[in-house]
Amino acid sequence: MNFLTFILLLFYFLTKCSSYDYDVLFFKQKVDHFTYTNTDFFLQRYFINSKYFDPKNGTIFFYTGNEGYIEMFANNTGFMWENAALFNALIVFAEHRYYGLSLPYGNESYKDNKHLGYLTTEQALADFANLIAHIKQSAPGARDAPVVVFGGSYGGMLAAWIRMKYPHLVDGAVASSAPILQFDGLVDCAKFSEIVTKDFSMVDNQCALSIKKSWKVIRSFAASGTGLKFLTETFKLCESLVPSKVDDLINWLSSTWSYLAMTDYPYATKFLHPLPAYPIAETCKYLTDSDVSSKELITNIYKAASVFQNYTGDVLCYNLSTSGGSYLGEKGWDYQACTEMVMPVCQNGVTDMFEPVPWNFSSYSDSCWQKWKVKPDLKKAVIIYGGKNITASSNIIFSNGKLDPWYSGGVLKSLSDTLIAIQIENAAHHLDLRASNPSDPQSVKKARRIILSWIAKWISRP
């Protein structure tokens, strides 16, 4: 199957799985917005719905796409869809360059730095800005329509940053679970892992203790050939585990527990993977006793991890190179984390349930060079976007759920009359942007009301 055939089949499958109605369009973007040495172009994919748009008194709701297929975010940001009619809004979901089908160089986009080096936040924000300008120029009645941008997680960071960098195009931003402070020297790198641990401990302390104990047990099994075989078979790995890949298994499990904390929603979802309501509680059903035998503990860890990785039972074997789901662009994000999105996270094994892994920028940098032949720029994001010094900006809401590990890097206190922080009890990763559900906690309902009141202020015209 050639690349074009693959893309067409994937496009057909994704559009058939949509939860909402939208037109799929493509916009011609420059690969490089900031120099005149590269004249290449690519087609950026975006979704648009004009059902609720009033050309005489309308608004533009614009989602700044994350590190993945834009379908995943269009289908899981029900807040925009549910409130579009209230603001006569034109709905737009824009895909991030180098993710989904918006690949500047097709199947060679990840070939080398010559092709991949244009995967930056600055270029992505310029894409979004140019697309907004195009829509305002081309959609009837959109020229003077106020623009409100939305984003969750990395998309939330982009939503905040585009308001800061392009305030003439964007009237306000809803930045949900946006860890814009998760950079060097701004927050404690251990807090992320501590929040994950707290989420598990609140369900059952034995659950967190079992996970904490499992790391040494895994290392012990991995010290022998028979132990490696046991781990391979127990975890149903697609490839036999070898000593050099044991860290991959450890990292895969660590990511699984972190993703569970991020997606601990009060109802069943299909965001990263199909999951039951309160998936951590479901996971911890398998980890009620940390004092079982070593083999039983590993078997229980496998069952617990499978709640996130294979709740439907459809996965035949586990690939340790992916943990967050097929729609998430983990490869591209790894490159971004090795260039300008250097967001320190560490573990100490004392205040958290993970293996001790201190933050070591030197080894981190060496790893990036080995994988991508790039050296990470530790200070770049803070220099470009301001870190904690963003009070010159305005009209941004920073909402953060307290169950979300990325809460640690969020803006948790209002910085001015128009830079508003909302802390949401009993809420995981950007729960406030999801569609309303009878199981939503009152804290989320309240946060949404606050967000709507601010949007009304932003779009009001004299």
- pLDDT tens for each residue of 398-433: 999 999 999 999 999 999 999 999 999 999 999 999
Calculate the alpha carbon distances from 426 to 4, 137, 290, 386, 430 in Å.
Answer: 44, 42, 26, 30, 12
Lowest mean pLDDT among 10-14, 135-139, 171-175, 227-231: 10-14
Where in the sequence of the chain do the CATH 1.20.120.980 domains occur?
A: 190-372
Question: Is the pTM here over 0.75, yes or no?
Answer: yes
Question: How is residue 95 annotated by DSSP?
Answer: P
In 132-186, beta strands by DSSP E? 147-152, 172-176
As given in the structure block, the two tokens for residue 337 are 């984390």
- pLDDT tens for each residue of 352-368: 999 999 999 999 999 99
Confidence band (pLDDT; 50, 70, 90) for 7? very low
Q: Which residue has the higher pLDDT, 170 or 5?
A: 170
Where in the sequence of the chain do the CATH 3.40.50.1820 domains occur?
A: 23-182+383-460
Angle 294-309/246-262 helices, nearest 10 degrees?
50
| Residues 302, 181: Cα–Cα separation, whole Å | 34
CA angle 412, 414, 415 (to 5 degrees): 115
| Residues 104, 420: Cα–Cα separation, whole Å | 36
DSSP one-letter string for 243-290: GGGHHHHHHHHHHHHHHHHHT--SS-EESSSEE-SSHHHHHHTT-S-T
SS3 content of the chain, % helix, strand, coil (to 5): 45, 15, 45
| Chain CA centroid to CA 176, Å | 11
- pLDDT tens for each residue of 234-255: 999 999 999 999 999 999 999 9
Half-sphere exposure of 234 (CA within 13 A, CB side): 22
Q: Does CATH number 3.40.30.10 belong to domain 23-182+383-460? A: no
Q: Above 70 in pLDDT, residue 11?
A: no
Q: What is the pLDDT of residue 272?
A: 84
Q: Does CATH number 1.20.120.980 belong to domain 190-372? A: yes
Q: Residues 317-348, buried b or exposed e (16+ Cβ, 10 A)?
A: ebebeebbbebbbeebbebbbbbbbbbbbbbe
Give me the residue label for tokens 């293996």. 355
As given in the structure block, the two tokens for residue 200 are 């598990």
| Residues 5, 109: Cα–Cα separation, whole Å | 17
**Would you please indicate which residues are annotated as catalytic (active-site) residues?**
153, 404, 429
Give me the residue label for tokens 């996970």. 211
Mean pLDDT over each residue of the chain, to the nearest integer: 93
